[in-house]
Amino acid sequence: MKRSQTLFRRAQLVIPAGVNSPVRAFGSVGGTPPFLQRGRGAQVWDADGRAYVDYVGSWGPLVVGHAHPEVVAAAQQAAERGLSFGAPTEPEVELAELLCRLVPSLEQVRLTSSGTEATMSAIRLARGHTGRHRIVKFEGCYHGHADALLVKAGSGALTFGQPSSAGVPPATAADTVVLEYNNESALEQAFEREGAAIAAAIVEPVAGNMNLVAPRPGFLESLRRLCTRHGAVLIFDEVMTGFRVALGGAQALYGVTPDLTTLGKVIGGGLPVGAFGGRRDIMQAIAPLGPVYQAGTLSGNPVAVAAGLATLKLVQAAGFYDRLAATARALCEGLARAAREQGVPFSAASVGGMFGIFFRSTPPASFAEVLQCDREAFNRFFHAMLGAGIYLAPSAYEAGFVSSAHGEAEIARTISAARTVFAGLRS
Ligand code: KE4
């Protein structure tokens, strides 16, 4: 890993921690992050030429694998026509029409350049639409790094043990109510207590930023019922689950329709695209139609939109999500079996094409149970698997991702490596 070590030292001189997003620094697992140079399908290669089976997939966008020829060709062709116009273009209309057709809650949608912009805009829109200030979020859920949402957040914020970020004014945080994910009684109490002041509740319909925690039956339905009863806007943050757990996202999988949805990752195919949308009556409040301002120089960028459209064309193939979910299940079942054979306390769970691995005997159903996982065991497992050419998410608090490029060979290789690693963990 010599070149990555040299590059990491060089990077840290000019970029804080040597990375452009905290979780990439391997802060919670330790060691030097491989500097990746190339990807193709389920594989990536680092600066030292080492190959890995990749289960990060750029944190979710690469649901059809790295450098899919149709996605690359679409981006190349768009780039040759011009990189950006700052003016309306037909591909943006095509992508908006496609999103509105595939995602149940979307009557109108606006594109952004990141998931953070999408959730930040959705929160502002919900506050503008209702005239209220309070926001409900859930501990361990991460919705990007907008001030109002960096309160007991997940992902990198959790990984570094700083769930509430410095720099967020107390007055801002004071308007954010943080509840326990999957705790319906806490939900009922919060809405009974201050339902009339709540502008919106924002939730990851499948939590993927405290590692994977699936919604308990009834949790999302209760949230839907309470938001409706109290006139609060229900926002499903599907930046990660959108086109990851099902074609129509978690809202299609669980049959619960939010008022607003945020998207990202897959809809850009690896290039910067986010989106927020939902009920037409709420979206009418967005500038220049209404009083809630929102904008973006590169929103709807034609090259990024082309990559997104090409990706969304591929995921509509018959049986795409059945196969994706079967791949994730095979991985989870194989890892759990290998751990059981070695007597290692371990469990794994998947929803569609996202999965979680846990060093505890059963998958966690809450943030508190996530914290009970053996993080040291995870870190040892992570590094031993990396050494065996398997690139897992470098944090005990992140979900993993498979793609349509992950076949039986990749899953078998991963489970075989894990069998050896679990044996080593016991010694
Ligand atoms: P971005 O601003 O990073 O595009 O999206 C923020 C975001 C919003 N909502 C959800 C549910 C998300 O998962 C994310 C971003 N996810 C993390 C991975 N857990 C991105 C990885 C990173 O921060 O480097």
Q: How far is the CA of 426 from the centre of ligand 1 (A)?
A: 34
Total structural domains within the chain: 2
Question: 24: which 2 tokens?
Answer: 């990439």
- Range 133-154 burial, b when 16+ CB lie within 10 A, else e: ebbbbbbbbbbbbbebbbbbbb
Residue 198 has pLDDT above 70, yes or no: yes
- Give CA–CA dist 284/342, Å, rounded: 58
Evaluated on CA atoms 147, 151, 155, 157, the torsion sign reads: positive
DSSP helix/strand/coil, 110: strand
Closest ligand 1 atom, residue 117 Cα: 2
Question: What average pLDDT score do residues 240-250 get?
Answer: 98
Residue whose CA is closest, atom 18 of ligand 1?
A: 59
Listing from the earlier edge strand, what are the strands of the sheet with 43-46? 36-40, 43-46, 51-54, 390-391
Does residue 308 sit in the same domain as residue 327?
Answer: no
Looking at residue 172, its pLDDT comes to 86
Edge-to-edge strand list for the sheet holding 354-358: 347-351, 354-358, 400-401
Final residue before a domain boundary, out of 282, 315, 348: 315
Q: Which atom of ligand 1 is nearest to the CA of 155?
A: 19
Task: State whether 334 and 270 are in the same domain.
Answer: no
Say yes or no to pLDDT of 277 above 60: yes
Q: Whose CA is nearest to atom 8 of ligand 1?
A: 143
Crossing angle of helices 302-314/90-102, nearest 10°? 40
262 and 214 in a single domain? The answer is yes
Q: Is the pLDDT of residue 281 over 90?
A: yes
| Interval between CA 164 and ligand 1 midpoint (Å) | 16
Residue 161 reports pLDDT greater than 60: no
Average pLDDT value for the chain: 96
Atom of ligand 1 nearest to the CA of 272: 4
Residue 160: pLDDT over 70: no
**Structure token pair of residue 222:** 């209760």
Token pair 């705790």 in the structure block, residue: 183
pLDDT for residue 270 is more than 80 = yes
Kindly state whether residues 52 and 76 are assigned to the same domain: no
Vertex 23, ends 40 and 136: CA angle to 5°? 115
Distance 15 CA to ligand 1 centre (A): 20
Q: Are residues 294 and 343 in the same domain?
A: no
Average pLDDT of the residues in 112-137: 98
Helix 320-341, helix 408-426: angle, nearest 10: 20
With vertex at residue 424, the alpha carbon angle to CA 423 and CA 427, rounded to the nearest 5 degrees, is 95
CATH number at residue 26: 3.90.1150.10
Q: What is the distance in A from the centroid of ligand 1 to the CA of 424? A: 33
Q: pTM for this one? A: 0.97
Q: Atom 9 (ligand 1): residue with closest C-alpha?
A: 143
Give, for ligand 1, the residue of 143, 237, 239 to mutate: max count of ligand atoms closer than 8 Å to Cβ.
239
3-state SS assignment for residue 169: coil
pLDDT, average across residues 130-143: 96
Q: Each residue of 357-392: pLDDT tens digit?
A: 999 999 999 999 999 999 999 999 999 999 999 999
Question: What is the whole-number distance in angstroms between the Cα of residue 60 and the centre of ligand 1?
Answer: 9
**Pocket perturbation via mutation, ligand 1, pick of 138, 155, 159 by most ligand atoms within 8 A of CB:** 155
Please check whether residue 135 is in contact with residue 200, taking contact to mean a CB–CB distance below 8 angstroms. yes
How far is Cα 347 from Cα 121, in angstroms, rounded to an integer?
37
Residue 210 has pLDDT above 80, yes or no: yes
What is the residue with the minimal CA distance to atom 20 of ligand 1? Answer: 59
The per-residue pLDDT for range 16-61, each reduced to its tens digit, is 999 999 999 999 999 999 999 999 999 999 999 999 999 999 999 9
User: Which of 288, 315, 342 is at the close of a domain?
Assistant: 315
Both tokens of 267, joined, read 């809809």
DSSP class per residue in 182-229? T-HHHHHHHHHHHGGGEEEEEE-SSB-SSS-BPPPTTHHHHHHHHHHH
Residues 142 and 228 in one domain: yes
Name the nearest CA neighbour of 148 among 160, 161, 132, 159. 132
Catalytically active residues, by annotation: 142, 237, 265
Tokens of 400: 């993993």
Dihedral Cα 221, 222, 227, 230, nearest 10 deg: 140
Dihedrals phi, psi of 278, to nearest 5 degrees? 155, -135
CATH number, domain containing residue 262? 3.40.640.10
Rg (CA), the chain: 21
For a substitution probing ligand 1, which of 56, 62, 116, 273 has the most ligand atoms within 8 Å of its CB? 116
Assess whether 272 and 181 both reside in one domain. Answer: yes
Domain with 250, as residue range(s), is 69-315
And the tokens for 388? Answer: 């065996």
Cα distance between residue 398 and residue 356, in whole Å: 8
Same domain, 301 and 258: yes
Residue 155 binned pLDDT confidence (cut-offs 50, 70, 90): confident
C-alpha of residue 239 to centroid of ligand 1, in Å: 7
Do 367 and 311 fall within a single domain?
no
Taking the C-alpha atoms of residue 409 and residue 414, their distance in angstroms, rounded to an integer, is 9
Q: How does strand 134-138 pair with strand 347-351?
A: unpaired
Q: Which residues line ligand 1 (CB under 6 A)?
A: 21, 23, 59, 114-116, 119, 142-144, 155-156, 204, 208-209, 237, 239-240, 264, 274, 398
Label residue 17 exposed, middle or buried (CB < 10 Å: 0-12, 13-18, 19+): middle
Q: Are residues 270 and 308 in the same domain?
A: yes
Helix (H, G, I), strand (E, B) or coil at 304: helix
Q: Which of 229, 218, 305, 237 is nearest to 269 (CA)?
A: 305
- Write down which residue in 299, 315, 331 finishes a domain: 315
Distance, CA 342 to ligand 1 centroid (Å)? Answer: 34
Q: What integer pLDDT is reported at residue 165 of this predicted model?
A: 87
* Cα of 100 vs its chain's centroid, Å: 20
Q: Are residues 281 and 159 in the same domain?
A: yes
- The answer to whether the peptide bond before residue 363 is cis (omega within 30 degrees of 0) is no
- Both 96 and 245 in one domain: the answer is yes
